[in-house]
């Protein structure tokens, strides 16, 4: 598995595909090893790197559903997942998360949000609905190169994403059903427990 993860990292680097950074992967694995989830929902598969990283910490018989909108990414992820012999563990759901999430009804122990940053705020109500009580919602890239918690003014190009991320942080930090911490690891990660 480690060799395959190294290959995936090299592929992502060569093809400029953003995957979780090493410190983020380490933090995820430590948290998940403590929790030992049976079920994980990921939003944003890319080539399947983070799904494969998280699979190391699943409880016996556990599984991951992961949503990806880009068909080329889906093909690549399926290749890697099959090669690693994990097709019975990681299920890739091809589709736009905005369409897929409303149709999901099963509850998950952990939800990992790693798709378009400007959409987190829109996906949050579904994450809260779909995560079990005492389950975790983890969101990556919430600091967005420190712009989210930086000065009010941001460049036009990033303004929408930053404004929406600020709204997302405001909601996860103040939602009556969530207790949230923001950790300055990688590009910033929030961990919320639902109670």
Ligand X SMILES: C[S@@+](CC[C@H](N)C(=O)[O-])C[C@H]1O[C@@H](n2cnc3c(N)ncnc32)[C@H](O)[C@@H]1O
| Residues near ligand X, by CB under 6 A | 18-20, 44, 46, 49-50, 67-70, 73, 96-98, 114-116, 119
- For tokens 């090893």, what's the residue? 33
Is the Cβ–Cβ distance between 169 and 142 less than 8 Å?
yes
Is the Cβ–Cβ distance between 95 and 67 less than 8 Å?
yes
Instruction: Give the pair of three-digit tokens for residue 65.
Output: 């559903």
CB of 178 to ligand X, least distance (A): 21
Report how far residue 166's alpha carbon sits from residue 87's, in angstroms, rounded to the nearest whole number: 36
Name the residue nearer to ligand X (CB basis): 109 or 114. Answer: 114
3-state secondary structure (DSSP) of residue 178: strand
- φ, ψ for residue 65 (rounded to 5)? -105, 135
Name the residue nearer to ligand X (CB basis): 73 or 139. Answer: 73
Name the residue nearer to ligand X (CB basis): 109 or 140. Answer: 140
CB of 40 to ligand X, least distance (A): 12
3-state secondary structure (DSSP) of residue 18: coil
Name the residue nearer to ligand X (CB basis): 129 or 134. Answer: 129
CB of 107 to ligand X, least distance (A): 20
Q: Which residue is nearest to ligand X (CB)?
A: 44
3-state secondary structure (DSSP) of residue 77: helix
Name the residue nearer to ligand X (CB basis): 87 or 177. Answer: 87
CB of 195 to ligand X, least distance (A): 26
CB of 45 to ligand X, least distance (A): 6
Is the Cβ–Cβ distance between 101 and 75 less than 8 Å?
no
């Amino acid at each position: 598995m480690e060799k395959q993860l190294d290959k995936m990292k090299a592929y992502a680097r060569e093809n400029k595909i953003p995957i979780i950074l090493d410190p983020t992967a380490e933090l995820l694995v430590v948290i998940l090893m403590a929790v030992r989830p049976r079920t994980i929902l990921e939003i944003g598969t890319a080539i399947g790197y983070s799904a494969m990283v998280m699979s190391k910490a699943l409880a016996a018989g556990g599984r991951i559903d992961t949503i990806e909108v880009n068909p080329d990414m889906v093909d690549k992820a399926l290749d890697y997942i099959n090669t690693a012999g994990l097709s019975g563990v990681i299920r890739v759901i091809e589709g736009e998360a905005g369409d897929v999430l409303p149709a999901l009804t099963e509850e998950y122990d952990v939800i990992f949000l790693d798709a378009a940053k400007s959409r987190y705020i829109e996906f949050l109500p579904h994450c809260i609905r779909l995560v079990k009580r005492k389950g975790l919602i983890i969101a990556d890239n919430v600091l967005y190169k420190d712009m989210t918690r930086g000065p009010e003014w941001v460049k036009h190009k990033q303004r929408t994403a930053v404004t929406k991320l600020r709204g997302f942080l405001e909601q996860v930090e103040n939602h009556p059903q969530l207790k949230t911490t923001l950790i300055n690891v990688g590009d910033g990660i929030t961990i919320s427990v639902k109670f």
